[in-house]
Structures are given as structure tokens and as C-alpha cells.
């Protein structure tokens, strides 16, 4: 990156100077329609967040938190009564 000259990638200071037809289709959609893209991403985030929250279940259990493969834990579970 140290060999990159300033002339090869000029800084575009004003949006009117930007070539809106440069880049591939996805880049054009993201950068030419920023507000629409941001709204779309916010909606996707809300929908996925809602789906995750509605399916969230808390099942606290002491037995699930201990390492059940350990011999002393197996002995404890067999003789807990």
C-alpha cells in the first residue's frame, strides 16, 4: 500500500462528480440508493431480531451446567437421592 500513488485513486470531493454507473450491480445499489438500503437493512434487522426474541426460551437447570462426563459428577447424579 506504500507504493500507491495519489493520482491512481483520486478523492472525489463532491457527490455530483461521482460516477453513479461505476462498480458492479450490488455496489451501485448500495451506494446509489443509500437511504433505501439503510431502511432495508433496518427492516431486516428488526424482523430477524423479532424472530429471535419470540423463539428465545430460558431453561435454567443445574444439571445442564455441570460437566456430566466427569466421573465424580456421574457418581453425584447416581447417588443424589
Convert the pLDDT of each residue in 19-75 to its tens digit: 888 888 898 888 889 999 999 999 999 999 999 999 988 888 877 788 888 898 889
Host domain of residue 8: 1-58
The confidence score (pLDDT) of residue 1 equals 52
Sign of the Cα torsion 36, 38, 43, 44 reads positive
Residue 12 pLDDT > 70, yes or no? yes
> Is residue 16, in this structure, part of any structural domain at all?
yes
CA–CA distance, 1 with 40 (Å, rounded to integer):
34
> Is residue 66, in this structure, part of any structural domain at all?
no
The confidence score (pLDDT) of residue 57 equals 85
The confidence score (pLDDT) of residue 10 equals 76
The confidence score (pLDDT) of residue 35 equals 93
> Is residue 67, in this structure, part of any structural domain at all?
no
CA–CA distance, 25 with 41 (Å, rounded to integer):
17
- Are the beta carbons of 76 and 67 closer than 8 angstroms? no
Amino acid at each position: 500500500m506504500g507504493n500507491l500513488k495519489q493520482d491512481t485513486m483520486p478523492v472525489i470531493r463532491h457527490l455530483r462528480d461521482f460516477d453513479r454507473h461505476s462498480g458492479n450491480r450490488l455496489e451501485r445499489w448500495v451506494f446509489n440508493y443509500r437511504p433505501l438500503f439503510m431502511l432495508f437493512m433496518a427492516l431486516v434487522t428488526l424482523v430477524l431480531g423479532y424472530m429471535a426474541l419470540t423463539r428465545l426460551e430460558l431453561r435454567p437447570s443445574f444439571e445442564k451446567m455441570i460437566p456430566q462426563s466427569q466421573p465424580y459428577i456421574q457418581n453425584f447424579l447416581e447417588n443424589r437421592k
